[in-house]
Amino acid sequence: MHSNEDLIGDVVGVIVEKIIMEVGVLSHAKVAEILGAHNLTFSDCYRNPDVLNFALKELYGDSYLVLVDKIRNELTGFENHEKLDLFIQKISE
């Protein structure tokens, strides 16, 4: 049975994938490749925001913050704000 944290991780992973897919399939593949090099999937981003932050900066430079804002907007309204706020803070650094 999944814990609440696992479900939040899955939701965050889907949202991150959705936002990156809006950029393009190639972008999705590149982020997935970087995550995979760290033995992570999109669902693992919630618990490992530093790797997602690295991937976004690596691929998008300073414009990565546009994607972070889109992710933040998608997560608005979810419960467990403190942990989600920490996640957004970590990927924004």
Calpha distance 6→44 (Å, rounded): 9
* pTM for this predicted structure: 0.89
Mean pLDDT for the stretch of residues 22-41: 96
pLDDT at 78 (0 to 100): 76
Domain 4-92 CATH assignment equals 1.10.1200: yes
CB 46 within 8 A of CB 8: yes
With bands split at pLDDT 50, 70 and 90, how would you rate the model's confidence at 61? very high
With bands split at pLDDT 50, 70 and 90, how would you rate the model's confidence at 55? very high
